[in-house]
Amino acid sequence: MKRLFILLGFLLSSFTAFGADMSHGADNFFKSDKVTAQKVSFKNQYQLTVVGNLFVPKGLEPAARSAAIIVGHPMGAVKEQSANLYAQKLAEQGFVTLSLDLSFWGESEGAPRNAVLPDMYAEDFSAAVDYLGTRPFIDRERIGVLGICGSGSFVISAAKIDPRMKAIATVSMYDMGAANRDGLKHSQSLAQRKQIIAQAAEQRYAEFTGGKVEYTGGTVLELKADTHPIQREFFDFYRTPRGEFTPASSTPQQTTRPTLSSNTKFMNFYPFVDIESISPRPMLFIAGADAHSREFSEEAFRLAGQPKELVIVPNAGHVDLYDRVELIPFAKLTQFFKSNLK
C-alpha cells in the first residue's frame, strides 16, 4: 500500500510538472484588444529605475484627465505574473493603469537581484504616484493602488505615509512581516525564528567575502510525493505554463525566491501598525474563502479604520485569485475604484 501511495504521488507530481490547472478561466497572460500598452520607466526617490507597463483605454479623450490605478505583483513575482492581468481588466473599465516591477525584481533596478527591502517596495508605489501624477492625462487627485499577495502589505505600508493614494485595495494579501516572523496561523516558534535569523546572519559573512548568494523559501523547483499542498498551489502557477515567466534579469525558475541573507528584513516589517491612520481613505480587502492567507486580510480589516470592506470569494484559494478570471471579483474592484476615484 505504501508503494502505491508513492507511485500515485509520483504520477501526480509528473502531471503537475508538465501540465497546469487552467480551470475557472485561468488567463495570466491575457492580452486585451481594448487597451494600448506601453513600457515606461521612472526613478524612485533613491534613484533606482522602476519599470512598468502603462495601459490606456482605447478611445480615451486626449484632453481627459483620467483616474489611475497602480497594480503591484505578488511577492517575488514580476509584473507579467498577475499584475498585468488585473491592470488590463481594470483599464478596460476606463482607468489608466500601471503595473510595475518592484525594485530588485523583474526589469526594475536593484542589486543583488531578488533582494528583500520592504521600505523600498513601498517607495516604488509612491514613485509610481509621482510618475502618474505628473502625466497631463492623469488627474492626480484620483489615483488608487491595488496590491496582490505581498504587494498588499506594501501598498498599505506606502499608503500610511502617502495621502496621494486615494483608494487602497488588496487581493490575496500576505502580511510579509507576520508571515516571516510567525508563520501561517502562528505556526513558527520564537526559537525557529531565531534559527532563521542566525542562518541569514552567517550567510552575510559568506557573501561579504565573495561567496555564493543563497536563496530561501519561495516556490519549490520540483514536486515530490510529500510536497505540501500550499507549495503545490504555488508550483501550479509559477512553475508551469499557467504563469511561469522568467525576466531577463533572472535565471530560470528564480522568481519567488528571495536571497537568504536579506529575507530577514521582513522580520522588522509591520505594515498593519497604524493602519487605521489611512482612514478616511477607503480600503477594500479581497480574499479567497479557502485561502491559506485569509487570516491576513481579516486581520487588516479588523484593524483598519472606516470606510472599509472585506470580500470573501467562495470556493477560491490564495493563488486562484492571481489569474482565475471566473473567480476574481473584477466587478467589485471596478465598483470600488469608480466610487472612490470620482
Domains and CATH numbers, the chain: 2-340 (3.40.50.1820)
Q: Could you tell me if 51 and 291 are in contact, meaning their C-beta atoms sit under 8 angstroms apart?
A: no
What's residue 178's pLDDT?
98
What's residue 218's pLDDT?
87
DSSP three-state, residue 22? coil
What's residue 247's pLDDT?
80
What's residue 250's pLDDT?
60
What's residue 248's pLDDT?
73
Query: CB pairs under 8 A, 24+ apart, for 230-235?
Result: 230/184, 230/292, 230/318, 232/16, 233/292, 233/317, 233/318, 233/319, 234/319, 235/16
Divide the 342 residues of the chain into consecutive groups of 10 and give the mean pLDDT of each group.
41 50 97 98 98 96 90 97 98 98 97 96 98 97 98 98 98 98 97 98 97 92 94 96 84 80 98 98 98 98 98 98 98 98 94
Query: Other CB atoms closer than 10 Å to residue 13's CB: what's the count?
Result: 18
What's residue 254's pLDDT?
72
What's residue 223's pLDDT?
94
What's residue 312's pLDDT?
98
What's residue 38's pLDDT?
98
What's residue 255's pLDDT?
83
What's residue 61's pLDDT?
84
> How far is CA 14 from each of CA 18, 228, 231, rounded to the nearest angstrom?
6, 15, 15
Ranges of H-type helices in 57-214:
83-91, 118-133, 151-160, 176-182, 190-208
3-state SS, 278-318, equals: HCCCCEEEEEECCCCCHHHHHHHHHHCCCCEEEEEECCCCC
What's residue 10's pLDDT?
40
Q: Could you tell me if 124 and 102 are in contact, meaning their C-beta atoms sit under 8 angstroms apart?
A: yes
